[in-house]
């Protein structure tokens, strides 16, 4: 497509573009673009992570997957593994292939025994609670010397 130009009447050989012609040309190029429009939806297996004061929350879109096909595991005490295991017969009947698998490194200080998972309306939500910090016990030093003498610390 050629860029729209027209001869300037007062100066033969000098070409110029009117600003509105350029704008219309840009719109026509965009309108006739052969590239497909960008998808407005998320990928079919979109995974998100959110952090709250009490927990880390992982959500995965798993449309069309049965609850029995989902496996949520803790690997080596440091990784959260989410995967789907499709039955061979079910995959052939419904035309589904492959599976879904994601592995997340768990942040430090989480309660691995308190992890819960819920699957509703095609969305898997895994909640990983934070481990509550307990107050560390303080140990009093016994003895004399410059490190224990309050007057020596102030000087």
More confident residue, 108 or 40: 108
**One domain, residues 74 and 3:** no
**One domain, residues 23 and 92:** no
Domain coverage including residue 16: 1-31
**One domain, residues 63 and 122:** yes
Note the pLDDT tens digit of each residue in 124-133.
Answer: 999 999 887 6
**One domain, residues 27 and 62:** no
- Structurally, the chain folds into a number of domains equal to 2
**One domain, residues 27 and 52:** no
What CATH number does residue 115 fall under? Answer: 2.60.40.790
**One domain, residues 24 and 69:** no
Which of these, 9, 83, 12, 17, lies nearest to 45 by C-alpha position? 83
Position 106 confidence tier, pLDDT thresholds 50, 70, 90:
confident
**One domain, residues 118 and 75:** yes
**One domain, residues 97 and 60:** yes
Q: State the pTM of this model.
A: 0.54
Neighbours of 123 (CB within 10 A): 14
Can you tell me the mean pLDDT for 110-135? 86
Neighbours of 52 (CB within 10 A): 10
**One domain, residues 79 and 6:** no
pLDDT for position 32: 66
**One domain, residues 17 and 58:** no
Note the pLDDT tens digit of each residue in 1-33.
Answer: 455 555 555 555 555 556 666 666 667 766 665
């Amino acid at each position: 497509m050629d860029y729209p130009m027209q001869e300037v009447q007062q100066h033969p050989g000098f070409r110029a573009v009117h600003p509105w012609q350029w704008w219309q040309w840009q719109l026509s190029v965009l309108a006739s673009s052969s590239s497909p429009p960008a998808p407005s939806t998320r990928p079919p297996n979109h995974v998100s992570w959110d952090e709250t004061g009490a927990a880390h929350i992982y959500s995965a879109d798993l449309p069309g997957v049965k609850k029995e096909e989902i496996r949520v595991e803790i690997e080596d005490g440091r990784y959260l593994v989410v995967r789907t295991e499709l039955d061979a017969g079910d995959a052939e009947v419904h035309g589904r292939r492959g599976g879904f698998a994601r592995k997340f490194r768990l942040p430090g200080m989480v309660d691995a025994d308190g992890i819960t998972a819920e699957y509703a309306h095609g969305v898997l939500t895994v909640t990983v609670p934070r481990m509550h910090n307990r107050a560390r016990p303080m140990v009093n030093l016994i003895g004399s010397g410059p490190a224990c003498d309050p007057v020596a610390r102030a000087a």
